[in-house]
């Protein structure tokens, strides 16, 4: 088996030693929280080999030297964009959007809340290319008519600057409809315009969403509490201490009664006391006693 791996490594255009692999994965972990295990070696190689060619470098050792040099700033940004996994789709795990719709309807009909604070804040943390925050905004537009007169904003953040650019443009392929369940197909149809064989998110939907680059490991700029936070299919890339600390920070940022949505394989083994599981990977922050 080792012989097979060695032969594969010999055939590679650029040699990647174990030491260089560990240096790169260590840097990625400290910059992003993303853990790249041994099984990600081919992925790291193929994504960075392209970059080495672009830069005219001969080896990974030269690339590591570049990352150690004064010019590293710009290159670490590239490294970060290269290692993120951005797979996403509109209305992924659609049961979360059923719970969101119910939550928003009940907030908009809560007379106490509407007297003191007619605004709603939702955060899509790790939003990738924007399908998740636009799904949220589409639900707001199409399914919660009672929110029309409210100030509603969806904050969409991601580490990867390429994803933030794509999301801000709000243009998607027509095959984005594939696999969308139930009435969410129609909801998406109502919130896009077809133009030259692509889908443009309608202005009224786009205007609800604000894209910003943000590394979840860094300080967060939010001044006020959130009614719902989506952090789906992001925590799986982190180690347990990073995961636990992030989930506690989400709990702190939620309004009492606010909801946290995680990805389908991200159930919490160690959850903050104030969060209660109310559905599949869906948590609510307990109202203060
Ligand atoms: C698989 S996508 C999930 C997209 C969407 N939430 C969904 O479930 O469809 C994971 C996203 O997390 C982002 N990400 C990874 N580490 C991050 C970090 N430290 N800070 C912010 N975003 C991060 C990646 O750039 C990527 O776009």
pLDDT one-digit tens code per residue, 230-266: 999 999 999 999 999 999 999 999 999 999 999 999 9
Distance CA 29, CA 38 (A): 13
What is the structure's pLDDT at 5?
A: 54
Residue nearest to atom 2 of ligand 1 (CA): 86
pLDDT at 208 exceeding the cut of 70: yes
Beta strand extents in the chain (DSSP E only):
119-125, 151-158, 171-173, 192-195, 198-201, 209-213, 226-231, 254-262, 275-279, 282-285
Active site residue 227: no
Query: Distance, CA 158 to ligand 1 centroid (Å)?
Result: 6
Q: Top-level CATH class of 2-83?
A: mainly alpha
Helix H or strand E encompassing 206? helix 203-206
Active site residue 47: yes
Please tell me which residue in 121, 158, 227, 232 is annotated as part of the active site.
Answer: 158
Residue nearest to atom 16 of ligand 1 (CA): 32
Query: Which part of the chain has CATH 3.40.50.150?
Result: 95-285
Ligand 1 atom at shortest distance from the alpha carbon of 129: 27
Query: Which part of the chain has CATH 1.10.155.10?
Result: 2-83
Which residues have C-beta within 8 Å of that of residue 276, sequence separation ≥ 6? 283, 284, 285, 286
pLDDT one-digit tens code per residue, 121-164: 999 999 999 999 999 999 999 999 889 889 999 999 999 999 99
Q: Please name the fold of domain 95-285.
A: Rossmann fold (3.40.50)
């Amino acid at each position: 088996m080792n012989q097979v791996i060695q032969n594969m490594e010999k055939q590679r255009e650029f040699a990647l030693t174990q030491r260089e692999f560990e240096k790169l994965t260590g840097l990625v972990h400290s910059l992003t929280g993303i853990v790249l295990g041994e099984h990600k070696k081919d992925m790291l190689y193929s994504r960075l080999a392209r970059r080495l060619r672009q830069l005219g470098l001969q080896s990974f050792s030269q690339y590591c030297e570049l990352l150690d040099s004064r010019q590293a700033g710009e290159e670490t940004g590239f490294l970060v964009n290269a290692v993120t996994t951005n797979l996403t789709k509109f209305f992924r795990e659609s049961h979360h959007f059923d719970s969101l719709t119910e939550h928003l309807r009940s907030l908009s009909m809560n007379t106490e809340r509407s007297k003191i604070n007619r605004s709603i804040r939702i955060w899509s943390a790790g939003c990738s290319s924007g399908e998740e925050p636009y799904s949220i905004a589409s639900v707001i537009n199409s399914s919660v008519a009672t929110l029309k007169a409210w100030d509603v904003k969806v904050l969409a953040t991601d580490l990867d600057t390429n994803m933030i650019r794509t999301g801000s443009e709000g243009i998607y392929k027509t095959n984005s409809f594939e696999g969308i369940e139930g009435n969410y197909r129609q909801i998406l149809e109502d919130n896009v315009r077809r133009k030259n064989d692509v889908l443009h998110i309608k202005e009224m939907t786009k205007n609800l969403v604000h894209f910003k680059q943000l590394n979840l490991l860094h300080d967060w700029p939010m001044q006020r509490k959130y009614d719902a936070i989506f952090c789906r299919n992001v925590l799986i890339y982190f180690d347990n201490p990073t995961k636990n600390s992030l989930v506690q920070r989400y709990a702190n940022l939620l309004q009492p009664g606010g909801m946290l949505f995680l990805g389908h394989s991200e159930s919490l083994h160690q959850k903050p006391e104030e969060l209660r599981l109310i559905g599949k990977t869906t948590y609510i922050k307990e109202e203060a006693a």
